[in-house]
Structure 1
Amino acid sequence: MTPQSSPDARTSGGFVQNAAAYGVATPRPGLLLTLLLLIAICIVALTAIDLATMSERIASLSSSAEAGKLPVDALRSSQLNSSLFISAFMIGVLALIAFGHNWARWVWLIVCMLVGFLVALGTLMLMFTYSMDAALLKCAVYLILFVLSCMLFAPSCNAWFRRIKEIRNNPRLHPASGAAAATAVPADGQPYHPYAPPGGMSGAPAAPVAIPPRPRTISLAVALFLLNAVLGMILTVIYLPDMFAMQNALLGEGLMKKLAFGGLVFGIVLMLVVLYFIARGSNVARWIWTAIAVFGFLNAYTTLRMAFAISSAYGALTTFSQLVSLAGTILLFLPVSNQWIRQVRLANGR
């Protein structure tokens, strides 16, 4: 007898069906696929708007006498790196959502949407001064993007993420493992029961795996990051008036102070949360920190140019801060650190 295909398989077509089932144990709902595609299109549109208006933005930033102190090439490099990094970060979070990581939905909603939109308000206010049409278009895309992001929590999407979590917690639920599990013979000789709970194939439950002690490389990396954060706060307090004097002409004194203090508080909170999970052996937190560090390294040229323009001491200390951050990031990926994180994942059953 020829097996009958499901209604979804008959109507979705080969490409859509393959995309829905690629890399996951259960096919993605059509709504989730559509949302991810539309969100990706919005990201491309926002990036295109930023790149299309970059020359006008640079001209607006460097039009005043005070802003003329800023190096134009460094400013252009910073703007380009920021736009491309933000786009790549957002696409990366979408990829994690597409492969069934529920926490990535909350990262998207909280970091990319809520916090990202608050940060984008500063650039939008500036954009209205040099390109009204582009600013209005960007606002419309942001509104569409926020609505699509909320739809990621639709009932069909929630059910699919719950199903993925169940399969990851109990590999016997994986469709591909059904045939192999049916013919498998456990070490104790007992027959396999397909509906047995995890660990039910053996007479006694599996003993929990102890989490290994944290290696010195991870502890030293976290210590370097905390040292770098303290140094950064000290430099910010000392040289903040000079930074305001240079950048007040760009966004205005009131807005500049709000962005500076708001960014400082958000950066400290984000850093503490990420470092906490790194100290607990989270591989995801390690890569999130690496992405943030890469963004900082891409903007190092602009940061150092502005620091040396203010003071030689400020430039030297900023260079030292960049080197400390680089050293800590390298420590996170030494073989000892990689082995410990793998052991933590095994101990936690992930």
Structure 2
Amino acid sequence: MNPQSSPDAVPAGGFFTAAANYGVAAPRPRLLLVTLMLIALCILLITAIDFAFLSERVNFTLSMTEVKATTYEALRANEMNTILFVTAVMGGVLALIAFGRGWARWVWLLVCMLAGSALALIWVALMFQYAPGAAMIKCAVYVMLVVLSCLLFAPSSNAWFRQLKELRNNPRRQAATPAAWQSAAPADGKAYDPYAPPGGLSGVSGAALAPVVLPPRPLTATAGLGLCVLASLAGMVISLIYMPDVLAAQSVALGTGMMKNLVYGSLIVGTVIVMLLMYFIARASNVARWIWLVLAIIGFFNSINAFKTAFVVSTLYGSLAVITQLIVLAGTILLFVPASNQWVRDTAQARRP
């Protein structure tokens, strides 16, 4: 067994080997790889069900809130963007897990599973009113997601995440050949143990450590990050100020109960997610950069309908919404210009042996 691999790492050859080794310093365990694929399938299935019954969902919402029929298209667009946003967030967190970010498992557990389950239960309970068969399928998928989420914390997965963290903290240890890992022993004389706590690689000899010098962040990437952060914070403040007027324009009462908490909580959670993505983009994370691009594209299409409502509420609000969206667009473009792309590639290369 290659000591760099987890106990149930995928053997050489075939599609699973390519998937297990893609983008990581050590092969993903078979259990983790299958779990990630099944979770991705569950996300796609939930999204497909939501889109298949989107019209029924909108009609049911209209009947419950007694909104005028003229707001059907706006409500449908909002529901569609909500579905896409939730799918993108879940897919983004799953991608971070797949690329060895152990903390993303806790984000998945706390945000997508625990907090998300509360919203999912509300949506499924309502879905039983207009599509009971689809609601039963979604319940089964959610139960499967809970079971699969527990498998993300299996011993072999924990060992793999610890190993990747060790390698990230000491990138030059990746230069050691398998033979060196097999022949070398830690200082305490014990054999390599993949389940050992962090620090178990520190005694390996024969892998000379060299300081890792990361390339400086270019002006384009710094400016792009600044613009995206500025626009996101400004957008949250503007939305908090004008949200009661926006909902009133759509004949939706903000109230003081669950609806109010849900609206303001969504704004705050969305801003926190953006700040986390900006943090990892600032550290040259290509995965976070592409997750941000997907969210920015969804936000752009959402803004097309949002601008109409914004100008109905207030000319000032509509103008500010357009300006913040243009700033986000400019910042996103700066994150993907050649200089920024080269910085991400050079940083990734510097972290390799």
- 2:335 corresponding residue in structure 1: 332
**5+ unaligned residues in a row in structure 2: which ranges?**
1-7, 182-203
What is the identity, as a one-letter code, of the residue corresponding to 1:236?
S
Contact 2:310–2:318 (8 Å) recurs in 1: yes
Q: Are residues 15 and 89 of structure 1, via their aligned partners in 2, closer, same or farther at CA, if it must alter by over 3 Å?
A: farther
1:206 aligns with 2:210: yes
Q: In structure 1, how many angstroms separate the alpha carbons of the residues matched to 2:94 and 2:311?
A: 38
| CA apart distance, 1:329 | 0.7
- 2:313 corresponding residue in structure 1: 310
Q: Are residues 216 and 119 of structure 1, via their aligned partners in 2, closer, same or farther at CA, if it must alter by over 3 Å?
A: farther
Q: In structure 2, how many angstroms separate the alpha carbons of the residues matched to 1:230 and 1:40?
A: 31
1:227 aligns with 2:230: yes
| CA apart distance, 1:291 | 2.7
Contact 2:231–2:328 (8 Å) recurs in 1: yes
Q: Are residues 89 and 176 of structure 1, via their aligned partners in 2, closer, same or farther at CA, if it must alter by over 3 Å?
A: farther
Q: Are residues 18 and 117 of structure 1, via their aligned partners in 2, closer, same or farther at CA, if it must alter by over 3 Å?
A: same
Q: Which moved more, 1:263-272 or 1:281-290?
A: 281-290
Q: How does 1:177-326 map to 2 (within 5 A)?
A: 196-199=205-208, 206-209=210-213, 211-212=215-216, 214-246=217-249, 249=252, 254-326=257-329
Contact 2:167–2:174 (8 Å) recurs in 1: yes
Q: Are residues 75 and 37 of structure 1, via their aligned partners in 2, closer, same or farther at CA, if it must alter by over 3 Å?
A: same
Contact 1:42–1:141 (8 Å) recurs in 2: yes
- 1:187 corresponding residue in structure 2: none
- 2:184 corresponding residue in structure 1: none
TM-score, normalising length: structure 2: 0.72
What is the identity, as a one-letter code, of the residue corresponding to 2:113?
M
Contact 1:102–1:161 (8 Å) recurs in 2: yes
**5+ unaligned residues in a row in structure 1: which ranges?**
1-7, 179-194, 200-204
| CA apart distance, 1:149 | 0.6
| CA apart distance, 1:100 | 4.5
- 1:192 corresponding residue in structure 2: none
1:40 aligns with 2:49: no
- 1:73 corresponding residue in structure 2: 73
What is the identity, as a one-letter code, of the residue corresponding to 2:154?
A
| CA apart distance, 1:296 | 0.7
Q: In structure 1, how many angstroms separate the alpha carbons of the residues matched to 2:95 and 2:321?
A: 34
What is the identity, as a one-letter code, of the residue corresponding to 1:160?
W
- 2:116 corresponding residue in structure 1: 116
Contact 2:84–2:298 (8 Å) recurs in 1: no
Q: In structure 2, how many angstroms separate the alpha carbons of the residues matched to 1:122 and 1:292?
A: 24
| CA apart distance, 1:232 | 1.9
Q: How does 1:3-152 map to 2 (within 5 A)?
A: 18=17, 21=20, 23=22, 28-63=28-63, 64-70=65-71, 72-84=72-84, 86-87=86-87, 90-91=90-91, 93-94=93-94, 97-98=97-98, 100-124=100-124, 126-152=126-152
Q: In structure 1, how many angstroms separate the alpha carbons of the residues matched to 2:31 and 2:338?
A: 41
Q: Point out the structure with max Rg over C-alpha.
A: 1
| CA apart distance, 1:94 | 4.0
What is the identity, as a one-letter code, of the residue corresponding to 2:328?
S
| CA apart distance, 1:173 | 4.8
Contact 2:88–2:294 (8 Å) recurs in 1: no
Q: Which moved more, 1:228-237 or 1:46-55?
A: 228-237
What is the identity, as a one-letter code, of the residue corresponding to 2:338?
P
Q: Are residues 152 and 294 of structure 1, via their aligned partners in 2, closer, same or farther at CA, if it must alter by over 3 Å?
A: same
| CA apart distance, 1:138 | 2.4
What is the identity, as a one-letter code, of the residue corresponding to 2:265?
G
Q: Are residues 310 and 78 of structure 1, via their aligned partners in 2, closer, same or farther at CA, if it must alter by over 3 Å?
A: same
What is the identity, as a one-letter code, of the residue corresponding to 2:60?
S
| CA apart distance, 1:16 | 7.6
TM-score, normalising length: structure 1: 0.73
Q: Are residues 42 and 275 of structure 1, via their aligned partners in 2, closer, same or farther at CA, if it must alter by over 3 Å?
A: closer
Q: What SS does structure 2 have at the residue aligned with 1:206?
A: coil
Q: What SS does structure 2 have at the residue aligned with 1:285?
A: helix
Q: Are residues 197 and 246 of structure 1, via their aligned partners in 2, closer, same or farther at CA, if it must alter by over 3 Å?
A: farther
Q: In structure 1, how many angstroms separate the alpha carbons of the residues matched to 2:251 and 2:74?
A: 18
* Number of corresponding residues: 320
CA RMSD of aligned residues (A): 3.9
- What is the aligned-residue identity percentage? 49
Q: In structure 2, how many angstroms separate the alpha carbons of the residues matched to 1:87 and 1:312?
A: 32
| CA apart distance, 1:260 | 1.3
Q: Which moved more, 1:282-291 or 1:42-51?
A: 282-291
Per-residue CA distance 1:124-171 (angstroms, 9 max, x = gap): 454355344544542342232122112111112222344455667433
Contact 2:221–2:340 (8 Å) recurs in 1: yes
Per-residue CA distance 1:295-338 (angstroms, 9 max, x = gap): 21131222223223333332222122211110111111222223
Q: In structure 2, how many angstroms separate the alpha carbons of the residues matched to 1:240 and 1:105?
A: 32
